[in-house]
Chains A and B, each alone.
Chain A
Amino acid sequence: MDIVEKVGNGDVRAVARLIRSVEDRIPQAREAMKELYPLTGNAFIIGLTGAPGSGKSTLTDSLIAAFRKQGKGVGVLAVDPTSPFSGGAILGDRVRMQRHAEDPGVYIRSLATRGALGGLCAAVDDAVHILDAMGKEVIIVETVGTGQSEVDIMNNAHSVALVLTPGMGDEVQTMKAGIMEIADLFVINKSDLPGGQKLYQELLRVLQMTENYQSGWQPPVLMVQNIADPRAFAEKVEGLRDAFWEHRAILISKDLLKEREKRKLSVQFHNSLKETLLDPIIEDLTRSGRLDASLERMLAKEADPYTLAEELAGEYLRK
């Protein structure tokens, strides 16, 4: 049986290996991805984003339980940052989800950003496809929680929830321009901490000001509190789960899901195209020493980056 067939059958070992190969950019992986593509398109893809320490992993853990309660197969991709110094990473999100480790209906995979710009690692797109192909009905992507990844995740998910915690009331205003606009749902986690109400009010105010956010969908603000009472917490998270489903229903009814898929594909295709075109060129330039030579020339003002890029692009395209 080949790897794609195994993935389609939900073989954990095969899925894990394929994701690894995609991450490590093994050439055969690309072949497998081509073959696997027709199997995708069935999963509901959820993005969970928010600052470090906002409790995303704990929410993910409870969301897994909530979706499992409905009998859904769940895949999780948890992204943690790669150390810029060593290239290594500690992937610790999984700690909080280990109670699901043995549940065959749940597949959890930790990913390191590996220096990908935007925090969300380059392999996430492919990993989502793989989990989709293995038959997971719900895929939760948990971001690093800093910087550009907040925006990038939108390209990978159908529904995005932004997780906030009290004490950020004043910051909501300034956030409005960026990540506020990408979220379809807002979760105020640990809302029983001082400042919870204030954050809630502030958020509502800002959301009202955000005009024409999306036809027919007013992003809800969910308060999740009292983690000390596990049942109450689980109930709140079930509410969040239902809100995700509602959002999905709206997306489908308004034909927006297709639009999102298209947007997602557009970015992915863009990246793929760039990679296909650019990577061999960069590699060739590096290997031949021309990259360094060109840089030297630019440094010495013998050439400018614009002309040089045009020249090289022309040369390679002709090939």
Chain B
Amino acid sequence: MSKRPIRILVAKPGLDGHDRGARILARCFRDAGHEVVYTGCHQTPEQIAAAALQEDVDCVGLSCLSGAHKHLFPKVVQLLREQDAGDIVVIGGGIIPKQDFPVLYDAGIKEIFTPGTPLPEIVDWINEHVVPGREL
């Protein structure tokens, strides 16, 4: 049996539409051999959690550039946990000041990537921390 591909949901919660980073990441994950479910902009945490569940993804990558990450990111983690899907790895990126990191880590965001992070660094992190597929 060949290696199971990692499935990643790339989503933009909140109201900002700056999807340059999210789109670049989606391509980059595809080129790294992952299956990327892309849900586009303006997603509510509820929509994101529902999509993550239906798609059986291993990882959710959130991108937010509007400054509302402190509210939106933890909400996604909370919703996943409520639906028995706390094992899905949630990571975040965008314009996120250092001072907000502790709040996000405490809320269960596993890693935060800020502007200027090289793509290979993100891919390496995922390959190291995300396990594709769960036991049936």
Contact partners of B31 in chain A: CB under 8 A: 83, 85-86, 88
- Most chain B CB neighbours (cut-off 10 Å) among A21, A24, A32, A109: A24
The chain B residue sitting closest to A95, CB to CB, is B40
Interface residues on A, range: 35 or more
B47 partner, pick from A18, A85, A87, A98, beta carbons under 8 A: A98
Q: In angstroms, how far is the closest chain A Cβ from the Cβ of B9? A: 9
Complex formed: what's the CA distance from A92 to B37 in Å? 6
Contact B32 A21 (CB under 8 A): no
B47: chain A residues within 8 A (beta carbon): 98, 101-102
- Tell me if B46 and A102 are in contact (CB < 8 A): yes
Among B51, B55, B133, point to the contact of A21 (Cβ < 8 A): B133
Instruction: Establish whether residues A16 and B36, one from each chain, have CB atoms under 8 Å apart when the complex forms.
Output: no
Report Cα–Cα, A86/B6, bound state, in Å.
12
Cβ–Cβ < 8 Å partners of A87 in chain B: 5, 33
B110 close to chain A: CB less than 8 A: no
Cβ–Cβ < 8 Å partners of A319 in chain B: none
Chain B, Cβ-Cβ closest to A92: B38
Contacts of A102 in B (CB 8 A): 46-47, 50
Interface: A234 (CB within 8 A): no
Q: Let me know if A257 is at the binding interface, CB within 8 A.
A: no
Contact indicator B26/A90 (Cβ below 8 Å): yes
CB of A20 closer than 8 Å to a CB of B: yes
The 0/1 profile, CB within 8 Å of B marked 1, for residues 100-119 of chain A is 01100001111010100000
Assess the A32–B51 pair: CB atoms within 8 A.
Answer: no
Choose one: A17, A25, A89; the contact of B36 (CB below 8 Å): A89
What is the number of residues of chain B that contact chain A, defined by CB distance less than 8 Å?
34
B7 interfacial by beta-carbon distance below 8 Å: yes
| Contact indicator A20/B7 (Cβ below 8 Å) | yes
Are A3's CB and B136's CB within 8 A? yes
Identify the closest chain B residue to A12 (Cβ). Answer: B53
Check B4 against A24 for contact (C-beta < 8 Å).
yes
Residues of B close to A231: CB separation below 8 A? none
Among residues of B, the one whose C-beta sits closest to the C-beta of A88 is B30
**Inside 8 A of B132's CB, which chain A residues have their CB?**
24
**A90–B38 touching, CB < 8 Å:** yes
Main secondary structure of the interface of B (DSSP, over half): mixed
In whole angstroms, what is the CA distance A12 to B39 when docked?
18
The interface residues of chain A lying within 8 Å CB-to-CB of B33 are 86-88
Cα–Cα, bound, A83→B54 (Å): 23
**CB 8 Å contact bits of A49-83 with B (1 = contact, 0 = none):** 00000000000000000000000000000000011
**B134 A86 Cβ-Cβ under 8 A:** no
Q: Is B34 an interface residue (CB 8 A)?
A: yes
A13-28 CB mask vs B (1 if < 8 Å, else 0) is: 1001111110011101
Chain B residues closer than 8 Å to A114, beta-carbon distance: 5
Residue in B1, B29, B56 with the greatest tally of chain A CB atoms within 10 Å: B56
B87 to chain A, nearest CB (A): 11
Distance, CA A16 to CA B34, complexed state (A): 17
**A residues whose Cβ falls under 8 Å from a Cβ of B:** 3, 12-13, 16-21, 24-26, 28-29, 32, 82-83, 85-92, 94-95, 98, 101-102, 107-110, 112, 114
Q: List 28 A-B contacts (CB under 8 A).
A: A3-B136, A16-B55, A16-B56, A17-B134, A17-B136, A20-B7, A24-B4, A26-B136, A29-B136, A32-B136, A87-B33, A88-B5, A88-B35, A88-B36, A89-B36, A90-B26, A91-B35, A92-B38, A94-B55, A95-B39, A98-B40, A98-B43, A101-B50, A101-B51, A101-B54, A102-B46, A107-B54, A109-B54
Known: A94-B51, A101-B47. 19 other contacts (CB 8 A): A12-B53, A18-B136, A20-B133, A24-B132, A26-B136, A29-B136, A86-B31, A86-B33, A88-B31, A88-B33, A88-B35, A88-B36, A90-B30, A91-B35, A95-B40, A98-B47, A98-B51, A109-B54, A110-B37
